[in-house]
Amino acid sequence: MLELILGPAGSGKSHAVWQALLRRAQAGRRSVLLVPEQFTSSTEGTLYAVLGDTLSAYVDSYSFTSLAETLLRRYGGAAVPTLSEAGRAVLVRRVLDALPDKIVYYGRQRQSPAFCEKAAQTIEELKSAGIRPEQLAAYAQGPGADTEKLGELALIYATYEALLKTTALDPGDRVEMAAGLLQPAFFAGQAVFLDEFDTFNASKRAMLAALLPVADVTVTLCCTGLDGPDDGCSLFSGARRVAAMLRRMAGEAGVKSHVTTLRGDMRHAQAPALAELTLLLQEPGYTPEPLPDGPEPAIVYSCADTRQDEAKAVAAAVKAKARAGMPYSRMAVVCREAGTYLPALRYEFRLQGIPFFCDEPTTPENTAPARAVAAALEVLRSGLGTRGMMALLKSGLVDLPEREQCALENYAYTWSLHAEDWRAPFTRSPAGYAGPMTPQDAEELALAEHARAFLAERAQRFLGRARGAAVPELTRQIYLFLQALGAERCIEALAAELRARGEHPAADEAVREWNTVTALLNELVQLLDADAVPDAREYGELFTLLLRTTDMGHIPQSLDSVLFTTAGRMRLPEVDACFVLGLAEGEFPQLPGDIGLLTHADRDAMIAQGADLPDCFENRVIREQVCFYKALTAPRRFLWLSWPGGAQAALPMSAALGPVMELLRPPAARRS
């Protein structure tokens, strides 16, 4: 049985799922809950809050990825290594190096890390759409297609797939592989619930096709029903297409389907203005009811002079709400692009003493372990030069007393040391040519010499073993070099110091950074040819590419923090107040640009030949509309709307916000 639960934002779709899970658990029946990858942590918390300690044991919560891993452990295949999202870009670089004479269209860009990232994004998009290399090659020959460009992408894609077979499984392929191994007994007596999904790519569709014949499946989708405008670009067009696809899959599997449509607005029951706003966003022709004036308006707007002024006004408003008794954890700040507002918000929130958590993706590129690896590669590239030795020292992962490190740094810059100077004991005065060496100078010289001997001895041993080594041995020597310098001891000491000060999340983060970077070193060995002998520059470029495309995420420093998120990543808990920033024309909703290496024209040419591309222009326009809709309908009690439209920035208000301002006429925010 396929059950579709349809309803607009705030109508209680997730609530219906949780109640169904609760009823089944109370009856002693097991269930499976599937949510998107980024929601798994918050879902676990909700699971325990709603079902409690005992009943939550009757529900297994998964993402598609973790469900696939569970199936592979049960039925075989878990030991097959899987390529990470970051690993795709490195493997693409390896593909491009293997095709030097055949890459003509992209000949100039092929060595660029940015190109490798975009090519990896394109391969991910093609895999998500279920397009194989041979299909892409066929599309390249079709009418209206850029034959040279798509043909070259097909070659890169085919070589990537061939190389993948000898390296690891692509993450999407792993889900598809698990779907093929699924046995009915795994879901015997269980019901499967899918919540918060907007769409399903090819690998997820394969898993759903395997699920439908063996379990009762319930899926929630954000739309007002199956019937609606047929222009293909309305707010709920995407969800309706997904619903039609699921019903078609159920029919092909011989499974009945049932649709439940929720009409109410549970979220805004205590906020009539927000309920009217929700109806207006759902139905552009809707005429809102006139709202009575109240002491505390539910919707306000702010037209600031600059983005910094926007952030300052939001910080003051958040502080005012907190003074009135609203917990910080019940407030959220939303914008379209994190980088546009994050520095300003961090600064203003710090001034106001507001705890602040941002869920934007972060890479380990600028962490201390990553800097230490880069310094080791600089030593390998240039030998015992001051640049590499000082980079090691400044990484913070050399186990030397601070006074010795300072003495060495001062000596190195006083005498402009060369490689031969690093090999021999230091004998000159740390004071330079200032006169005879004083007792204090002699003491500083002894400290600098001890530090030099510590660094130089280990660096020379590293150089002797790493030069000319193949990838596995080179990586091993880098790790052993860092260990010899005392990097792991430094991490442990830092973590212990932070825990002693009560900063446990920061201590955990320091350890996690070390583990992440060392795990990436291991992944690089798996991705590269074991017999290859790269130079330090090439190895460093590949490792940097891996660092830049790895998302570490964040650990919240406090449970009672204001959440800052972007509309594209947003899945807010129940929040009372939401501050939506950057509602300027072209910024939010965002004008769809190119993703990866495919242009909108490329996608249109492929769609005309039958391709089902999730990132076509129409779908991205709809996704932007949905992002705007979900951001404005997220809060239960209070909504703040702002954009930098004042005299300095002078950005026009988003056209999507026009009907809200014209028909609801929210008041301007008062200065706090």
- Sequential DSSP letters for 356-388: EEE-----STTSHHHHHHHHHHHHHHH-S-HHH
- Identify residue 479 by its one-letter amino acid code: Y
For residue 626, the model assigns a pLDDT of 92
pLDDT on residue 230? 58
Per the rule left: phi > 0, alpha: psi between -120 and 50, beta: everything else, 428 is beta
Of 298, 291, 300, 301, nearest to 271 by C-alpha is 298
DSSP-derived pairing of the beta strands 577-580 and 638-643: parallel
CA distance 284 to 291: 18
Phi/psi at 448 (5° precision):
-65, -40
The whole-angstrom separation of Cα 85 and Cα 87 is 5
Give the other-Cβ count within 10 Å of 237's Cβ.
21
CA 63 – CA 51 distance, rounded (Å): 19
Q: For residue 566, what is the enclosing H or E element?
A: strand 562-566
Strand-pairing partners, residue 638, are: 577
Q: What amino acid is encoded at 619 in this protein?
A: N
pTM of the model: 0.85
**Using the 8-state DSSP alphabet, how is residue 205 labeled?**
H
Note whether 618 and 144 are within 8 A (CB): no
- Break the chain down into helix, strand, coil percent, rounded to 5: 55, 10, 35
Q: What is the pLDDT of residue 79?
A: 79
Q: Maximum CA pair distance of the chain?
A: 95
Any bridge partners for residue 34, and if so which?
62, 194
Angle at which helices 471-485 and 504-527 cross, to 10°:
150
- According to the model, what pLDDT value does residue 335 have? 94
First CA to last CA across the chain, in angstroms?
A: 54
Torsion sign, CA atoms 213, 215, 220, 223 = positive
Report d(CA 336, CA 520) in Å as an integer: 30
Q: What are phi and psi of 347, to 5 degrees?
A: -65, -50
How much is the pLDDT for 113?
82
pLDDT at 573: 64
Burial (CB < 10 A; 0-12, 13-18, 19+), residue 468, is exposed
The span from the CA of 534 to the CA of 518, in Å, is 19
Does residue 263 sit in helix, strand or coil?
Answer: coil
Query: Which residue has 């990470």 as its token pair?
Result: 84
Rg (CA), the chain: 29
Determine the pLDDT at residue 127. Answer: 92
Measured over the CA atoms of residue 228, residue 231, residue 235 and residue 237, the dihedral's sign is positive
pLDDT of residue 293: 62
Half-sphere exposure of 631 (CA within 13 A, CB side): 29
Angle between helices 536-548 and 368-382 (to 10 degrees): 160
614: its two tokens: 């999730």
Give the model confidence (pLDDT) of 320-378 as tens digits: 999 999 999 999 999 999 889 999 999 999 999 999 888 667 889 999 999 999 999 99
CA-based nearest residue to 216, from 14, 3, 426: 3
3-state secondary structure of 5: strand
Q: Which has the closest alpha carbon to 379: 457, 309, 486, 293?
A: 457
> Residue 292: helix, strand or coil by DSSP?
coil
Q: List, for the chain, all residue ranges whose pLDDT scores fall below the cut of 70.
A: 229-232, 292-294, 359-360, 553-559, 570-573, 672
**Tokens at 588, concatenated:** 């939010």
Return the ∠ at Cα 492 (arms to 489 and 498), rounded to 5°.
140
Residue 39 CA to residue 33 CA, distance in Å, equals 12
CB atoms within 10 A of CB 228: 14
CA angle, 354 then 360 then 363, to 5°: 120
Amino acid at position 631, single letter: A
- Cis bond before residue 589 (omega within 30° of 0): yes
Would you state the pLDDT for residue 53? 87
Q: Tell me 185's DSSP state.
A: G
Single-letter residue type at 454? F
Q: Which two three-digit tokens encode residue 340?
A: 């546009």
What letter represents residue 233's amino acid?
Answer: C
Phi and psi at 307, nearest 5°, equal -65, -35
Residue 30 C-beta-side C-alpha neighbours within 13 Å: 10
Phi/psi of residue 664, nearest 5 degrees: -90, -25
Closest listed residue to residue 94, CA positions, set 597, 545, 637: 545
| Nearest of 160, 81, 95, 102 to residue 127 by alpha carbon | 160
